[in-house]
């Protein structure tokens, strides 16, 4: 009962555990993969704007999987991200649909403009 109440306030404890496990995996990566993966993770956190905890955990876990595989295979970072690292990160994030923070703001903007049009009519 207590766990359900805590999860109501803080979110899923299992998702937090999975996130921490993935974070530990990221921290264990060898350089240069570790620093690049951390930079991408930071960018994904800001750009992705995903609100569903399970989607965030899956995206983060898949992200770490990618860099772990690259480290094992010895794949150069440039070969993974190509010429446009920002484009790579944004395409990666877009693969994880779901509600994003910006969706609420888009709705608010559209509603404000629609309301203004009604008032002006």
CATH number, domain containing residue 84: 1.10.1900.10
User: 């921290």: which residue's tokens?
Assistant: 27
54-72: average pLDDT: 93
- How confident is residue 7, by pLDDT bands cut at 50, 70 and 90? low
**Within its chain, how far is the Cα of 14 from the centroid?**
17
In whole angstroms, give the CA distance from residue 25 to residue 98.
25
In whole angstroms, give the CA distance from residue 39 to residue 31.
12
- Domains identified in the chain, total number: 1
In whole angstroms, give the CA distance from residue 51 to residue 57.
11
Distant-in-sequence, close-in-space partners of 93: CB < 8 Å, separation ≥ 6: 44, 47, 48, 50, 59
Residue 119 has pLDDT above 70, yes or no: yes
Residue 26 has pLDDT above 70, yes or no: yes
- The pLDDT assigned to 44 comes to 86
Q: Which domain holds residue 49?
A: 2-120
- The pLDDT assigned to 104 comes to 78
The three-state secondary structure class of 29 is coil
CB contact at 8 A, 11 and 53: yes
Closest CA to 100 of 58, 52, 65: 52
């Amino acid at each position: 009962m207590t766990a359900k109440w805590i999860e109501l306030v803080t979110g899923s404890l299992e998702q937090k555990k999975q996130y921490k496990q993935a974070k530990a995996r990221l921290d264990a990566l060898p350089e240069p993969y570790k620093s690049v993966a951390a930079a991408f993770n930071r960018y994904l956190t800001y750009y992705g704007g995903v609100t569903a905890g399970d989607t965030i955990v899956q995206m983060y876990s898949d992200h770490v999987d990618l860099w772990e595989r690259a480290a094992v295979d010895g794949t150069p970072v440039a070969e993974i991200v190509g010429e446009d690292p920002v484009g790579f990160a944004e395409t990666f994030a877009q693969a994880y649909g779901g509600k994003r923070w910006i969706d609420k703001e888009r709705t608010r903007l559209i509603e404000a403009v629609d309301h203004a049009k009604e008032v002006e009519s």
